[in-house]
Amino acid sequence: MKYVVRDEKTVFNDHYKVVKAQVAYETFNGDEITTKRLAFERGDSAAILLLEKETNSLLLTNQFRYPTCKHNVGWLLEIPAGTIEENESPQQCVIKEVKEELGYSIVNPEHISTFYVSPGGATERVFLFYKEVSEMDKTEKGGGNESENEDIETVKISISELANNIDTLRDAKTILAIQWFLLNKK
């Protein structure tokens, strides 16, 4: 099926960007729809699920997320993640984020999936990875990047407690990663 994007222009450009375009696309019955659409462009990100072997625990972050305040939440348990910078691979990004957020040094994380977060309105893709680590891999303090005003707590959830905690999670990439783990590694 075919589509055409016309008259794409930036309508908002700050920390993130919003673009507006006229799009025409072929319908399933062979007709064509022409309409205007907006897309939120925040860049792609990389995320990782870490299993600490000695404790048989998944390593999560607990951090403040302003957009969740609208729903009276504030802090979320999540897997480590970050925005992929220009000239940075998803793998390089996730290695950097694990060190910044949790203090663990990792190499060669396993890519398990790439998916859209909210394809109806956002261009962002998440590159999802998995890695088993040792307590010996904790080489730094973690806690986030001070220059970005991050304050991140490390949370360990044992595999035996996982089933009792999964319904308390509110972050989609974390839920997807844990579901992958339960299907493939447990």
**pLDDT tens digits for range 88-124:** 999 999 999 999 999 999 999 999 999 999 999 999 9
Known binding-site positions for Mg(2+): 81, 97, 101, 150
Q: What value does the mean pLDDT of the chain take?
A: 94
Cβ atoms 80, 163 nearer than 8 A: no
Residue 147 banded pLDDT, cuts 50, 70, 90: confident
CA distance 137 to 104: 5
Residue 186 has pLDDT above 80, yes or no: no
Q: State the sign of the Cα–Cα–Cα–Cα dihedral 87, 93, 99, 105.
A: negative
Number of helices and strands (H, E) in the chain? 3, 10
C-alpha distance from residue 140 to each of 79, 104, 148 (Å):
18, 7, 18
Domain ranges of the chain: 3-41, 45-184
Of all helices (H) and strands (E), which one includes residue 96? helix 90-102
Known binding-site positions: 81, 97, 101, 150
Residue 39 banded pLDDT, cuts 50, 70, 90: very high
C-alpha distance from residue 116 to each of 69, 86, 120 (Å):
23, 19, 9
Closest CA to 132 of 47, 62, 48, 61: 48
CATH of domain 45-184: 3.90.79.10
